[in-house]
């Protein structure tokens, strides 16, 4: 099938909830994707912060072949499987957590965290959860309610009760809604969909302090900013603040669907048998890929710390060349955003024409989330395309 034929078939048969670009991806190697017509693209989207090891990674290929040779793709959670328990042990070692719950996506990971928080708080009369404006936590009802952006709520009332919103990076706004009824605060240490907004260190330590004072749990959603993307295995490790629950997904399964909620200390024993479940949680194939990604996470994140600074420097230089079109450069490691005064979608399309995939975040931000294996030479090529595209798109 040609690119156009695949897109037409998709448009005719899918529900209309996405506004997809007319591009059908066929194959990939390294960080280069090839479409159905054979055109190549440098990929700075990574399936939206998923494909940490890029495409065609040899270790991932071998891990999947081993699973296929063993013949069991799925076991259910009535039984254990070696790959999932190994992935859980690796997560606990890397994050310093005590217990892992596996599911299939970011929204499910946050649903698990929400249920842990309510189960923890209910006997004490605590059921309120505080979340933040500009946050994004997923599309199922609980996570959608936690998402502090009106546009995601519109048309879907009634939402889940007991959620309050405060201003990100404004601890006074949290104090204003914090009380004895709060069972948890949930925050992204680096907001993604809301526009690539890093947390101030004082803000995160302020949240920790409030949770400790009021006996509430602190949940960090690192679905997007976790798994090495910011230059540490987990984003919270940039700060001297440890959460009670950490949610992950996206890059965790190496391209297969996998999410997790990691529980620390007093949160570790909240769930009892029967409290929560996911049929596919800890799926053998996804867990096999997770062990590959996790075994390389420390090395990858150290590289991302170095190359991320190189990327950020290049973006700052671009911002200086286009001061009328770029109002800010924000991010950490390989999660960077350019806040634009020109239409983001026009820049995305222009980059795509030149063979670079980038995406947006919020209404005005051009988001760069390349695979963690991206080299400085590839960063140079991407920066040159962004520079030319910004020159082309008019105010």
Residues at the site binding ligand PLP, with contacts judged by CB under 6 A: 105-107, 110, 136-138, 188, 192-193, 221, 223-224, 249
Tell me the pairing of strands 182-187 and 217-221. Answer: parallel
Question: How many angstroms separate the CA atoms of 252 and 272, rounded?
Answer: 25
Question: How many angstroms separate the CA atoms of 93 and 350, rounded?
Answer: 43
Question: How many angstroms separate the CA atoms of 181 and 137, rounded?
Answer: 22
Rank residues 15 and 272 by Cβ distance to ligand PLP and give the closer one.
Answer: 15
Rank residues 110 and 301 by Cβ distance to ligand PLP and give the closer one.
Answer: 110
Copy the structure tokens of residue 268: 């570790």
Copy the structure tokens of residue 47: 């399936």
Kindly give, in sequence order, each residue whose CB lies less than 8 Å from that of residue 158, ignoring residues fewer than 6 positions away.
Answer: none
Rank residues 54 and 106 by Cβ distance to ligand PLP and give the closer one.
Answer: 106
* Geometric angle at alpha carbon 322, from 316 and 324, rounded to 5°: 120
CB of 146 to ligand PLP, least distance (A): 9
Question: How many angstroms separate the CA atoms of 50 and 119, rounded?
Answer: 31
The string of DSSP letters for 181-225 reads TEEEEEE-SEESTTT-EEPPHHHHHHHHHHHHHHT-EEEEE-TTT
Q: Can you give 361-393 as a three-state secondary structure string?
A: ECCCEEEECCCCCCCHHHHHHHHHHHHHHHHHC
Kindly give, in sequence order, each residue whose CB lies less than 8 Å from that of residue 139, ignoring residues fewer than 6 positions away.
Answer: 107, 152
CB of 173 to ligand PLP, least distance (A): 20
CB of 332 to ligand PLP, least distance (A): 14
CB of 337 to ligand PLP, least distance (A): 13
Rank residues 137 and 276 by Cβ distance to ligand PLP and give the closer one.
Answer: 137
Rank residues 94 and 335 by Cβ distance to ligand PLP and give the closer one.
Answer: 335
CB of 65 to ligand PLP, least distance (A): 26
Q: How far is CA 299 from CA 229, 266, 278, in A?
A: 12, 30, 31
CB of 127 to ligand PLP, least distance (A): 22
Rank residues 235 and 342 by Cβ distance to ligand PLP and give the closer one.
Answer: 235
* Geometric angle at alpha carbon 94, from 93 and 95, rounded to 5°: 95
Kindly give, in sequence order, each residue whose CB lies less than 8 Å from that of residue 32, ignoring residues fewer than 6 positions away.
Answer: 40, 41, 42, 43, 55
Copy the structure tokens of residue 350: 């222009």
Q: Are 324 and 332 in contact (CB under 8 A)?
A: no
Rank residues 18 and 79 by Cβ distance to ligand PLP and give the closer one.
Answer: 18
**135 strand-pairing partners:** none
Copy the structure tokens of residue 339: 């806040």
Rank residues 246 and 285 by Cβ distance to ligand PLP and give the closer one.
Answer: 246
Query: Cis (ω within 30 of 0) for the bond into 196?
Result: no
CB of 97 to ligand PLP, least distance (A): 18
CB of 253 to ligand PLP, least distance (A): 10
CB of 160 to ligand PLP, least distance (A): 15
Q: Tokens 């991010």 identify what position? A: 331
CB of 344 to ligand PLP, least distance (A): 17
Closest residue to ligand PLP in the complex (CB): 106
């Amino acid at each position: 099938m040609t690119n156009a034929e695949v897109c037409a078939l998709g448009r005719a048969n899918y529900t209309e909830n996405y506004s997809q670009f007319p591009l059908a991806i066929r194959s990939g190697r390294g960080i280069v994707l090839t479409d159905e017509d054979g055109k190549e693209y440098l990929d700075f989207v990574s399936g939206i912060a998923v494909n940490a090891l890029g495409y065609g990674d040899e270790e991932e290929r071998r891990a999947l072949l081993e699973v296929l040779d063993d013949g069991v793709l799925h076991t259910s959670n009535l039984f254990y499987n070696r790959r999932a328990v190994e992935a859980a042990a690796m997560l606990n070692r890397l994050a310093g957590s005590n217990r892992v719950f596996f599911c299939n996506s970011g929204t499910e990971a946050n649903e698990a965290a929400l249920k842990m928080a309510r189960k923890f708080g209910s006997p004490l009369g605590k059921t309120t959860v505080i979340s933040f404006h500009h946050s994004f936590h997923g599309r199922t009802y609980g996570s959608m309610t936690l998402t502090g952006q009106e546009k995601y709520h519109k048309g879907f009332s009634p939402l889940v009760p007991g959620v309050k919103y405060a201003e990100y990076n404004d601890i006074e706004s949290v104090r204003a809604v914090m009380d004895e009824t709060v069972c948890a605060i949930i925050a992204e240490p680096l907001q993604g969909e809301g526009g690539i907004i890093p947390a101030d260190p004082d803000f995160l330590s302020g949240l920790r302090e409030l949770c400790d004072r009021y006996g509430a749990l602190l949940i960090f959603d690192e679905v997007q900013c976790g798994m090495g993307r910011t230059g540490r295995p987990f984003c919270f490790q940039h700060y001297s603040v440890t959460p009670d629950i950490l949610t992950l997904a996206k890059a965790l399964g190496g391209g297969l669907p996998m999410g997790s909620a990691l529980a620390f200390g007093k949160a570790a024993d909240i769930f009892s048998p029967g409290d929560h479940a996911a049929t596919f949680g800890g799926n053998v194939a996804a867990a096999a890929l997770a062990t590959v990604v996790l075994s390389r996470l420390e090395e990858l994140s150290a590289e991302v710390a170095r190359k991320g600074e190189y990327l950020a420097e290049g973006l700052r230089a671009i911002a200086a060349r286009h001061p009328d079109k770029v109002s800010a450069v924000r991010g950490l490691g390989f999660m960077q955003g350019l806040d634009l005064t020109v239409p983001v979608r026009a820049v995305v399309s222009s980059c795509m024409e030149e063979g670079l995939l980038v995406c947006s975040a919020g209404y005005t931000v051009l988001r760069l989330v390349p695979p963690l294996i991206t080299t400085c030479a590839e960063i140079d090529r991407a920066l040159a395309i962004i520079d030319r595209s910004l020159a082309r798109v008019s105010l």
